[in-house]
Amino acid sequence: MMERDDQLLLAFLEGSLPEAERDALLDRLDREPELSAKLRDAARGYWAVTDEVRASSATGATKTPRVDPPRPTSLPNRWAMVAAAAVTLLISVPATAWVTLRSGTPAPAPIEASLGGMPAPDQASYVVILHGIWGDAGSITADVASGRAAQYWGWATDLADRGLLVAAGDLAWDPVRRIDATGGTAIYTEAIQDPNYVVGMFTVRAESYEEAVALARECPHLRFGGSVTVREVSMGFVTVPGMDDWSG
């Protein structure tokens, strides 16, 4: 019952509740002050969030733009996880938002050998690095973004089906700091418009560098104005903190 009320109030707030249900809800709101207070609190939150997203879009999110949707907590299987990685990485690209989505700074995960992901002795692993946000990121609709994300999903799941995907991960957008060699000065850069800006990483297994490049050529990122770099992992595979292991 409570969940149903939440849904009704949310639909009311988002302007999507049909007229008959709207009137019925208004009657209840008149009678139930607690329900009315819930609506009011949610309205403040809704307006604050949507105002902020709108303001960020309008200004091009020049101030600390960051989109980093958290990984879904209850994914049904690893294919959904692949999807989540692709979607959170790539759906987020056009949404020029500002929000720091993680609560505080998570403790860095230890770098550890990923035994399950270790390539066979005759098979090297390669990191496929995705650069650059979509060329038309500021102008596409959510549906278009969703359609594109599905293409990344298809690409990643196909690699996984073929036993070639070791890891997939999205990268937080900021802070972007490059440490120079003259004393460790941290330089903050707002590099999102930089075509070399790294937006994601996948690790794949391949027989050779050329084969890894061939896999990378199929990456949908290339169709949307991004570029891809392929690098061989020279000393066996280690999991990268924040990336998921797809080998299991």
H-helix or E-strand spanning residue 140: none
Residue 33: asked if its preceding bond is cis (omega within 30°), the reply is no
Out of 36, 151, 157, 229, which residue is the one contacting other proteins (CB under 8 A)?
36
Out of 109, 113, 142, 179, which residue is the one contacting other proteins (CB under 8 A)?
142
Out of 1, 82, 92, 189, which residue is the one contacting other proteins (CB under 8 A)?
92
Residue 88 within binding range of other proteins, rule CB under 8 A: yes
Closest distance to other proteins from the beta carbon of 228 (Å)? 23
Measured distance CA(16)–CA(39) in Å, rounded = 15
Out of 1, 78, 104, 127, which residue is the one contacting other proteins (CB under 8 A)?
104
Closest listed residue to residue 127, CA positions, set 228, 227, 195: 228
Give the binding range for other proteins (CB under 8 A) out of 87-95, 124-132, 155-163, 178-186.
87-95
Measured distance CA(154)–CA(157) in Å, rounded = 5
Closest listed residue to residue 177, CA positions, set 157, 163, 191, 159: 191
Residue 27 within binding range of other proteins, rule CB under 8 A: yes
Give the single-character DSSP code of 118.
Answer: P
R_g (Cα) of the chain, nearest Å: 22
Out of 1, 34, 74, 112, which residue is the one contacting other proteins (CB under 8 A)?
74
Closest distance to other proteins from the beta carbon of 71 (Å)? 8
Site for other proteins in 151-170 (CB under 8 A): none
CB atoms within 10 A of CB 202: 31
Closest listed residue to residue 189, CA positions, set 204, 206, 207, 177: 177
- Residue span 39-58 as binding mask against other proteins, x where in contact by CB under 8 A, dash where not: xxxxxxxxxxxxxxx-x--x
Measured distance CA(201)–CA(236) in Å, rounded = 17
Torsion angle of alpha carbons 150, 152, 154, 156, nearest 10°?
-140
Contact 208, 126 (CB under 8 A): no
Out of 82, 84, 168, 230, which residue is the one contacting other proteins (CB under 8 A)?
84
Give the binding range for other proteins (CB under 8 A) out of 90-98, 118-126, 188-196, 224-232.
90-98
Closest distance to other proteins from the beta carbon of 18 (Å)? 9
Residue 21 within binding range of other proteins, rule CB under 8 A: no
Binding residues for other proteins, rule: CB under 8 A, are 2-4, 6-7, 9-11, 13, 15, 19, 22-24, 26-27, 29-30, 36-53, 55, 58-59, 67, 69-76, 80, 83-84, 87-88, 91-92, 95, 97-104, 142, 145-146
